[in-house]
Amino acid sequence: MPITLTPPEIDRRHHTGEGDGGGRKPPTDKRTGGNGEGGDNWGDRPQGRRGPRERLSQARVGLFFALGGDLMFFVALVSVFFVNKASGHFDAYSHWVNEWLPTALPSILWLNTAVLLVSSVTAELARRSMFREHDAMEEWIGFGRPLSRRAGIWLGLTLLLGALFLAGQWMAWDQLAAQHVFFASNPSSHFFYLITVTHAVHLLLGIAGLIAALAGLQASRSMATRQVLVDSTVWYWHVMGVLWVFLFVLLEYGQ
């Protein structure tokens, strides 16, 4: 069956139990086994037959944990940021100094932020279009590829905006270098470059993911795989966008 006909959220509302095994407690028993997605008892079925969202939710859970770890990486960097900002030392003349001089952010970063936010919008449009029932049904049956085409367009747009963002970041680094502000210039510039470069590397991975998703839309023969690819990439993209907003606010106002 096409895998989007009855999303579990809807199914859950009027589910009464699958009836395999008399004497079982009613669905209010929260101690379900396996996936146990709420009360819809998909989890009561054998793994592998748990319904349309099984692989999708696995991918999302995996992404959740991976991004959690990634978040800890940035938490460490941001903590070091605050420690360095506040720490002073005795210089050669026994004066207590703090050399932290805020790095002025090139104004192009505002534009880049806007571009990234728009790219999140287009990415979300791509993701949602992957689950549109009508198009999914048609594509699954074999009447052309309306789903992949629509999603592909939005994904392509996201890719373009993402590349634009990275180009803008490069320009920002160029502008700073032209003003002789390099990585080693000042403690604050350490962090400016560190933070923007590590974020850019993550975004580059996101772009690689977008390319993989686009390739998957073309090449993969499994609807579920296409949906998982696009969904994971877009969620990753959103998280990188939100992360950037936080890092940008930190750099703009936190120095």
Partner 1 sequence: MRIFSTHHRAVGFGYLAISTVAVAIGVLLSLAMRTHLAWPEWPLPVHGPILPEEYLTLVTMHGTLMLFFVMTVAPQSGFGNLILPAQIGARQMAFPRINAASMWLTALALVVLLAAFFVPGGGPIGGWTAYPPLSESALAGPGQGTGMDCWLASIAIFGIASTISAVNTLTTIVKLRCEGMTWQRLPLTVWGWFTAALLSVIAFSVLLAALLLLFCDRHLHGSFFLPSGDVVNGVLLQHGSNGSPLLWLHLFWFFGHPEVYIAILPGMGLTSMVIANFARRRVFAYRMMIATTLLIGLLGILVWGHHMFVAGLNPFAGTVFSISSLAIALPASAKVLSWLATLWRSRPRLTAAMPFALGFVSLFITGGLSGPILAQPILDEYLHNTFFVVAHFHLIMAMAGVFGLFCATYYWFPLLFGRMLSERLGKVHFWGTLLGAYATFLPMHLTGLAGEPRHYAQLNGLAGPGTTLLESTQPLQVHITVAAIFLALAQIPLLVNLLRAWRSSKKAEPNPWNATTMEWAPESEELAVVYREPCEYSVTDESFLTQWSPGAAINTEAE
Partner 2 sequence: MLSAPTAAHFWHLPVDAARHGPAMDEHLLLNLWIALGLVAAAHGILLCGLVWRRAKTPGLKPGSSGTTERGPEGPLSLPGRGFGGESQTRRRLLLFEILPLAALTILFTALGVRSEQMWAAQRYTGADPTAMQVEVTGAQFVWSFRYPGADASFGTTKPMLIAPAAGNPLGIDYRDPHAADDIVTSQLVLPAGREVDLTLRSLDVIHGFAVPEMRLKQNAVPGQTSHIHFTPETPGEYAILCTQVCGTGHYRMQAMMRVLSPDAFDAWLRAREQRR
Binding site for partner 2 (CB under 8 A): 21, 23-25, 29, 31-33, 44, 89, 92, 94
Q: Is 72 in the site for partner 1 (CB under 8 A)?
A: yes
Binds partner 1 by CB under 8 A, chosen from 66, 205, 215, 249: 66
135 neighbors 164 (Cβ within 8 angstroms) = no
- Give the span between the Cα atoms of 32 and 40, in whole angstroms: 10
Binding residues for partner 1 restricted to 133-192, rule: CB under 8 A: 183-187, 190
The CA–CA distances, whole Å, from 100 to 104, 110, 191 equal 12, 23, 11
* Closer residue to partner 1 in complex, CB, 6/186: 186
Q: Kindly state the smallest distance separating residue 86's Cβ from partner 2, in Å.
A: 15
Binds partner 1 by CB under 8 A, chosen from 19, 22, 26, 33: 33
Distance of CA 44 to the CA centre of its chain: 31
* Closer residue to partner 2 in complex, CB, 35/233: 35
- Give the span between the Cα atoms of 147 and 133, in whole angstroms: 9
Q: Residue 171 binds which entry of partner 1, partner 2, none, with Cβ cut-offs from 5 to 8 Å by kind?
A: none
Q: Kindly state the smallest distance separating residue 87's Cβ from partner 1, in Å.
A: 7
* Closer residue to partner 2 in complex, CB, 21/48: 21
Q: To 10 degrees, what angle do helices 133-141 and 146-178 make? A: 110
Q: Kindly state the smallest distance separating residue 30's Cβ from partner 1, in Å.
A: 10
- Give the span between the Cα atoms of 187 and 254, in whole angstroms: 13
15 neighbors 40 (Cβ within 8 angstroms) = yes
Binding mask 183-222 for partner 1 (x = CB under 8 A): xxxxx--x---x---x------------------------
* Closer residue to partner 1 in complex, CB, 16/94: 94
Q: Kindly state the smallest distance separating residue 150's Cβ from partner 1, in Å.
A: 28
